[in-house]
Structure 1
Amino acid sequence: MLDKVKELLGEVNAFQSTSREEIEAFRIKYLGSKGLLKGLFAEFKNVAPESRKEFGQALNSLKNAAEEKVASLNEALENAQEDSGIYGDLTRPAEPIQLGARHPISLVKNQIIEVFNRIGFTVSEGPEIEDDWHNFTALNLPEYHPARDMQDTFFIEKNPDTLLRTHTSSVQVRYMENNKPPIRTISPGRVFRNEDISARAHCIFHQVEGLYIDTDVSFADLKQTLLYFTKEMFGKSKIRLRPSYFPFTEPSAEVDIYWGLETETDYRITKGTGWLEIMGCGMVDPNVLQNCNIDPSVYSGYAFGMGIERIAMLLYQIPDIRMFYENDVRFLEQFKSAL
């Protein structure tokens, strides 16, 4: 009789089902008014006195196991039905995930990087919180230099020598300090200037600056690189360089592309001239090379820099720079199809 109880205990422990009907039949078989346990308890009086304790413990174990099995299977079944009620048919294919869109600034930055990567420029990055040396002094802007007023700077109050970088030229300084020529690098990144926010200006914006240093680098090399860039980026093959001034390059120039006058928009953005300014450039000043431990009698180089927002506004005809920073989903969703 004891062997029979142990056999039934093994069957109870092994039983599994996800059918309510099978679970109910199992309950009736073992725990019903005419079930196996009812009969076994009735047989208890016929068990020899010396075996009653062991037989009784086995019967109780069998009863508890049967009750727990029924309870656990019913709970699992109810949980599955509840999940199905909340989430529907869990075997159905999932709803397609709504894809996001790259920010237009990221799109344009990646395009610029790709264009210059094709002619051997690597990407270099640096800190947004800079010191005076890398942001100003090493770039031929010593203390009290009047050209510092060209860049309204956010200084860190606790340390007047620490500031938010005003251009990514500071990254170029760090790169020149740690690498020997030939150097061919571009430095994309966010910069900060203490300016009033308007449709055409912001206190936070993004730049890409390029640097090439080697022996016998000439202004003609710079012009050829810029011409290649404008063709690849804008599809424009006509550029002009106007004399300008930057403390860290000499000679310096502003770069214009001929945008054309085919549409009303062309007239508006070029103010009727057809020409559009896109960046500044020049030959690296020998003082800058010397400050970065590069011999200016042996090496020369050129540098250029452009605002990513300005390029994006041209490519996508965005009229207000503030739209880049408002996180308006209606604006950002327009760029889902862009690569």
Structure 2
Amino acid sequence: MAEPAVRTTGRTGRLVILVAVVAALVAAGVGVGLWRGWFADPSVSDAPRARAGTVETVVGDLAAPWGLAFLPDGSALVTERDTRRILRVSGTTAREVARIDEAAPAGEGGLLGIAVSPDYAQDRWVYVYYTAAEDNRIARLRLGERPEPLLTGIPRGSRTHNGGRLAFGPDGMLYAGTGDAGQRDASQDRDSLAGKILRMTRDGRPAPGNPFGSLVYSYGHRNVQGLGWDAAGTMYASEFGQNHYDELNRISAGGNYGWPEVEGDSDDSRYVAPIATWGTDEASPSGIAVVGDRVWLACLRGQRLYRIGAGGQDPEALLTDEYGRLRHVAAAPDGSLWVLTSNRDGRGSPNDGDDRILRLVP
């Protein structure tokens, strides 16, 4: 938009500018739900700080860890985005157990999410989401063997918006969060895999009961990197906003979450409204964990760990500015929470010992 030829000042001038901006947005076809959010406050702002309980470092000196999944013996598998390594963390030791050579790290892409088969003791399958040279992919492998691609063709962003979280739901199906890959309109296109939450069988096929008969479970997402379920089976997802609002959403089959027509809340009944919103400088939520009736969100730009009620109530901020950027949080078998830092991802300021896995006992 070009600058106005005449500079206006004062209340009348500001009103003129506001009217002109709104008129230009409407003329450009921008949804009301998107521009109205510029003038509204997020539902979570200046959340009170809370004590984190006991925090200890499990392992350190990692390189941009991204995904984490626990094995039946209580050890954990951790992905490193840029090294393409899968590490096995047992006790206070991390060792490489696999490397995904096909991954092509660039920007936010690389080796991303990881999930362990619910029947791992019998089938030994581990699932990974990674950015390849031309697309994002989901593959499965047995540790020590080559990965077997199950789903290819998930659009890849040149540097950003690759999504990447993988998780098995309580229904035994595999879910994946994808990004819009910088192709905004793809999020509303149900024939595209970009800007979606996907639901699939363990061999990568559309899961029975999916709302559109395809892999797509929900759509209208910008960049989903957090997936979780409560004890009743309700699904939650975190989402990166663009300039104004990050979101926590309750996910329903076939739901349209609005992007790019809406960022944050909206009065438009076509779109599912978020449970909670944050300003992007206070959040940028990546991985989430749901424990009891609380959702935990690991935040990158916000450099804190949020704890919030499953209805968006009673938010609290933990670890604020203590460990830098936080990529993921996961509930461990022993009842603790494991948190991955992300200070060596090209956007952080690493300290000695970064990156690390923290163990938090609330």
Provide TM-score, normalisation by structure 2: 0.21
Give the number of the structure whose alpha-carbon radius of gyration is greater.
1
Greater share of strand: 2
Provide TM-score, normalisation by structure 1: 0.22
